[in-house]
Structure 1
């Protein structure tokens, strides 16, 4: 049968600075790995501290507590008789590194620092860590006394080396190093490393998993080898959801895959593989020639064999050929990702904030509808986990639902659980329609939320009269002859009062229901509206967290269509067919307020503008040159220019709103989230005179190639 080994990787729901909880989850994962016969276990990046500590990595306390946790692991019975790859920050010669600590039987074998840092988008690793630049070199690292007392070691190797067991060789790769053009696994593999561990802190983004899987498969497809990918899972305390999906690949094929979205705190993936499969895969002339001339790595030797003749008795004969199995990789559709990712994020946020539930202003429009359905999805996940007997989920649900200690309550009905922890409210005015009010009520009934319905006209009138009393001028809506300034101000009064009411109800509704504590307010502005600035600063888009703030309107519509059938919610059909409207202006015989008309662009166009601006890194002129080719068959150069200039003008003059944007679930690459993901100014020369003149000059020289009827243009842009 060759050299059979059982290896384990895991997804852990670690929480930044939760050293006690993180330790418990690490030890649980090692214990499960050993129970399944594994002799090698790898965990997520920076698992001792949690990946998202951010500037806390600069504090000496963070390194100190990491060593204290590691000392506990080294002494633990769980960590004996198994090689463990564990992540934490380490200060070496007064420089902070993001490291993996390889341990075995109470000893540290190697400290391997990260060499290539993630430093774009959501990541700022160079702010806290320094990359290890001495490739294939090691130095002595002198251990703190609390570790010396446990291991009996004064110093250990620190740097770029590999671990050599009796029967194979293990190399370490950290997260971003897999994504770099010259990944370390290539050189390590040519020097005889057969097993690669990758500890990651990789966040969820719609449609991103394909990239990760392709890179993991490619890592060993040409090279040969066993690749163990571990990842953080859950909300680490910020805007990101780390989506797990731990994997094991052999010779370019995924042989084991964990869940991408789960309420489990610890998920361990194991596989029994044959080292001889790697060796036979590598037996090619060209690979051998390159390997013969490869630079050598220092080998840290350990008197331990990962393979064991007793493996068969531990794992069972049916698992011995798992490395030859090629199960289909599981991918979620984007609609499913929206249903699951933000729902898991909301659950983590709710249970860790120790509040009593969520409050959502439910307008009857598709955005607040999508937010409500995501909470419904969360309740469904809680109910499913409870039915399976997940005691951690049941315990959290009892506390959040206000159950007394010793209660036997089990949240197996998502609608009943929602009625305890999810509160919705329709805040109507004279500008609201019967249709939106009925949709909000019907949706609340369908998902089981505790729903209230109110009219706030008296509040709006009071504020309006106060202004008139103080100034002697009474503002009017545009429909009643008012100026644009008056019209906008009157809309904003309604929007901002809704925020005030939302927080009042969120603080007091639990009290009304005989419970203690407060609720977290949910926002429901989508990524396109934020990008365009189509929201009122400090209105009901201002909330505690926003599960849809990184999701496009186009994707939200697809999600609602998916949820209509998957969650058996026929009421959602009426949300899909309704025209998006803020309902802040009076409805007349000739005018009904509509979002796309107000914005001067469609949601589909906004998605295109957002991607070109952020992902493709284009300013006004280069965006125009791209779109004049892409849209040239149905729009003239002048029309394209007008759309691009209008977008950039509105984006620039509303950019200041992003400074107060509610923290949102990150799901989209073109998110405008200020100072976290999108590092841009908030005061612009909003008419871009130089750039717009260059566009106008180009328009004057370009031919009109549009041949498509204007009625077909919108469909093509989508």
Structure 2
């Protein structure tokens, strides 16, 4: 048969409100798509203003500037001789919609508004947009004068329609619409639509890509068809990292896939497919009967053919093969450890290059959390060197600016440790309670990755604050008596003990910002550094950190990653990055080192928290992902943990978790903006909208737990008993 069509989809690193930069990246993607022989190009959701504009979508300026950019695209030579599917907000009858604008040869063909909004988790689309509530209906949309002057059109179709070309029919599906039970592609496919475009702003979460790809494959497995998935890529100005991975599926199989993590601002994925394969796959009696009974979509006729019109071999520039020779690609998935190495690293690079800062600073404690943060920065440096070596001009230009070099510099990053030394600064802020082990680990790690490292003692600063307090109040606070020997500074109350620990933690934050502002000056440079936080998601969930301590920073690359996953990442990095020192971080007991070490007492994180990190991960998922309150969490854990814990033990753990979480919930309001990587993140600012003042006694809920646990059988004891004949 040989009815060949070359199609293009792309991942773009768009930036909220960067209309000039976004326009340039859109035009570049169209140019690349045409060079590879594509007749249809699809871009990510809201690509003109950037997906992450948030409340800026409510401003008339955002809509106005989007039209201005579209006018530039319509008038450009780049957008000639190719059908383009472009995303922007549109106000129709005084209502703001999230739209796809289909254009061809200087004309607007159709404006298709989004019908189902993403409005949970990180997404609040209903705050800015109204869904199109008229399925299979179109209206006239009167174009603004700036577009009329370019296209010569006064009005265009607006609504839920599909586009018929001379040789096929394609329809639009927007991001969330793929994830809904009654996805539009089902009825479109039954009505003869053969090509589906999906433009997304889908963020990265650990292990999420599997779900996305399964849905894309499923969309055409039973239905038949070609599915073009485009996605935003990069940091759009907030906590999310959009992980690209544009792809094309044919009849349920992936035939082209882009990168998931990349420093490239523009990535275009093309495939040459045979539309006859779709028609052959749909030649099924049951499907035909269903298709014969559906109500039709409005069809907008476009007088163009997406195929050359004859069997002409492989179009010049095609990268995926053609016709019946299109082969299924083996889908690429990164392991969670690789995702941690790549996702936060790309996010950090975007944040650094767009913030105007000259590098990063992290208080390096010698523990696994700050270690993971430092290793992620080193991973970022590796990615920068790889991209620069491959000739990425944007990365080279950004690297030179960040390093304080003139635009005409010839510097090209070619060694990760050398580049790391230029832009990454670490500091061990020790006290008399710090061990030589943690100090040594921090120093050696900094040396291996190339960071500019400072090793200091801050006892004089801590003593100054304690002396000031004593002078004002005539009282001297002491640490609690936790195994202290005679003559040791101990015997204080819980309040004294906490205050003395918090002094150290908060002073580290003050010192971190001082060094971040002045270290470039010390080294003969200019500008300032961004301070990185290193509190993991589990500690935030439990509230196991001091408010406004060194966990308070500018951004935090590990704030959405569990302790369990961080340990796996460090084990991976030990081998991948050839860093034997990382093994010592894995085997060290997690400790804050804020209390005196005695013969019988060494501070331990898990002891202080009253629960293990693995338990915290379970509590977090049940609370957020499975939407459990205290009682439902208890009933679930009775089934999951009942073989090794008694009902009362489980009840005690659940009650303790909720009590501590409620008491510390207020800390979530001050969390450093963190890379979102985990579905149970407690980030109060965007993702986990809950009160921060609770009645932490949970008297009604806990009484019900106690009543039920008292009558449940203890399966753990039954299992412990030896079997008898």
TM-score (norm 2): 0.97
The answer on 1:603 being equivalent to 2:603 is: no
Looking at structure 1, the residues matched to 327 and 423 of structure 2 have their Cα atoms a distance apart, in angstroms, of 44
User: How many Å separate the matches in 2 of 1:115 and 1:496?
Assistant: 48
Aligned to 2:486: none
Where in structure 2 are the equivalents of 1:87-486 lying within 5 Å?
A: 87-308=87-308, 309=310, 312-315=314-317, 319-321=321-323, 324-479=326-481, 480-486=490-496
Distance 1:405 1:39 in 2: 38
Q: Summarize the alignment of residues 505-654 of structure 1 with structure 2, pairs less than 5 Å apart.
A: 505-654=515-664
Look up the SS of the partner of 2:466 in the other structure. Answer: helix
**Cα displacement (A) at 1:629:** 1.0
Query: How far does residue 247 in structure 1 lie from its aligned partner after superposition?
Result: 0.5
| 1:322 CA displacement | 6.9
In structure 2, do the counterparts of structure 1 residues 19 and 656 end up closer, same or farther at CA, with 3 Å as the change threshold?
same
Listed one character per residue, the Cα deviations across residues 286-341 of structure 1 (whole Å, up to 9, x for unaligned) are 00000001110011001100000456352469822476301110000000000000
| Residues 254 and 329, structure 1, Cα contact 8 Å, conserved in 2 | yes
Deviations along 1:419-475, whole A, 9 cap, x unmatched?
Answer: 000000000000000000000000000100000010000000000010000001000
1:576 aligned counterpart, secondary structure: helix
Cα root mean square deviation, aligned: 1.1
Q: Describe the superposition over 1:626-649 as per-residue Cα deviations: whole angstroms up to 9, x where unpaired.
A: 001110000000000000000000
Distance 2:698 2:321 in 1: 64
- Report if the CA contact (8 A) 1:271-1:322 is conserved: no
In structure 2, relative to structure 1, the CA distance for the partners of 1:183 and 1:313 (3 Å cut) is closer
Q: 8 Å contact 2:270–2:320 — kept in the other structure?
A: no
Matches within 5 A, 1:27-38: 27-38=27-38
* Structure 1 pair 635–113 and aligned structure 2 pair: CA distance change class (3 A): same
Q: What is the CA-CA distance between 1:408 and the residue it aligns to? A: 0.4
User: How far apart in 2 are the matches of 1:324 and 1:706?
Assistant: 56
Distance 1:131 1:317, change over 3 A: closer
User: Is contact 1:91-1:97 (8 Å) kept?
Assistant: yes
Do 1:386 and 1:411's aligned partners in 2 also have CA atoms closer than 8 Å?
yes
Distance 1:691 1:573, change over 3 A: same
For residues 93 and 320 of structure 2, the distance between their equivalents in structure 1, rounded to whole angstroms, comes to 50
The SS at the match of 1:505 is helix
Find the aligned partners of 1:207 and 1:318 in 2 and give their Cα distance: 27
Change (3 A) 1:255 1:78: same
TM-superposed deviation, 1:675:
3.2
| Alignment correspondent of 2:57 | 57
Partner of 1:716: none
Contact preservation (8 Å) 1:522, 1:546: yes
Conserved 8 A contact 1:272-1:322? no
SS in 1 for 2:561: coil
Residue in 2 aligned with 1:691? 701
Cα shift at 1:404: 2.1
Distance 2:94 2:507 in 1: 52
Matches within 5 A, 1:638-717: 638-707=648-717
Per-residue CA shift, 1:458-500, capped at 9, x if unaligned?
0000000100000010000114111111000000000000000
Query: Residues 255 and 322 of structure 1 are in contact (CA less than 8 Å); yes or no, is this contact kept in structure 2?
Result: no
- The answer to whether the 8 A contact 2:430-2:439 is kept is yes
| Residue matched to 1:493 | 503
3-state SS in 2 of match to 1:171? strand
State the distance in 2 between where 1:306 and 1:417 align.
Answer: 47
The alpha-carbon distance between structure 1 residues 708 and 399, as it changes in their structure 2 partners (threshold 3 A), is farther
Query: Counterpart in 2 of 1:26?
Result: 26
Aligned to 1:714: none
After superposing the two structures, state which structure 1 stretch, 124-133 or 323-332, moved more: 323-332
Give the SS at the match of 1:496.
helix
- Cα distance between partner residues in 2 of 1:418 and 1:215: 39
Does the CA-based 8 Å contact 2:589-2:604 persist in structure 1? yes
Question: What is the alpha-carbon distance in structure 1 between the residues aligned to residue 64 and residue 336 of structure 2?
Answer: 41
Which residue of the partner structure matches residue 485 of structure 2?
A: none
Q: State the shift of 1:14 in Å.
A: 0.2
Give the drift of 1:2.
Answer: 2.0
1:28-54 Cα distance to aligned partner (Å, 9 max, x none) = 000000000000000000000000000
**Is the contact between residue 54 and residue 128 of structure 2 (CA under 8 Å) also seen in structure 1?**
yes
Contact preservation (8 Å) 1:255, 1:323: no
For residues 719 and 559 of structure 2, the distance between their equivalents in structure 1, rounded to whole angstroms, comes to 34
Distance in 1 (CA, whole Å) between partners of 2:317 and 2:5 is 10
> What's the secondary structure of 2:99's corresponding residue?
strand
Aligned CA distance change for structure 1 residues 40 and 374 (closer, same or farther; 3 Å): same
Structure 2 CA distance for partners of 1:538 and 1:23, relative to 1, 3 Å: same
CA contact (8 A) 2:35 2:317 kept: no
Kindly state the Cα deviation for residue 708 of structure 1 after the two structures are TM-superposed.
8.8
- What is the rounded CA distance, in whole Å, between the counterparts of 1:110 and 1:405 in structure 2? 43
Q: 1:316 to 1:584 in 2, by over 3 A?
A: closer
Query: CA 1:323–1:56 in structure 2 vs 1: closer, same or farther (change >3 Å)?
Result: farther
Give the unaligned 5+ runs of structure 1. Answer: 711-718
Please list the CA deviations of residues 124-183 of structure 1 after superposition, one character each: whole Å capped at 9, or x if unmatched: 000000000000000000000000000000000000000100000010000000000000
Counterpart CA distance in 2 for 1:66 and 1:583 is 53
SS in 1 for 2:716: coil
State the SS of the aligned residue for 1:706.
Answer: helix
Cα deviation, residue 415, structure 1: 0.2
Whole-angstrom CA distance in 2 between matches of 1:251 and 1:159: 27
Deviation at 1:405, TM superposition (A): 2.6
Separation in 2 of the partners of 1:332 and 1:311?
Answer: 34
Does 1:47 find its partner at 2:47? yes
Paired residue total: 710
* Counterpart contact for 2:520–2:528, Cα < 8 Å: yes
Change (3 A) 1:322 1:592: farther
The answer on whether the counterparts of 1:37 and 1:311 sit within 8 Å (CA) in structure 2 is no
Say which SS state the counterpart of residue 78 (structure 1) adopts: coil
Asked whether the 8 Å contact 2:162–2:172 carries over to 1, the reply is: yes
8 Å contact kept, 1:634–1:708? no
Mark the CA change 1:458 to 1:146 in structure 2 (over 3 Å): closer, same or farther: same
Deviations 1:103-136 (A, max 9, x none): 0000000000000000000000000000000000
Unaligned runs of 5+ in 2: 482-489, 721-725
Change (3 A) 1:600 1:139: same
Task: Decide whether aligned partners of structure 1 residues 167 and 624 sit closer, same or farther in structure 2, where only a CA change above 3 A counts.
Answer: same
CA contact (8 A) 2:270 2:319 kept: no
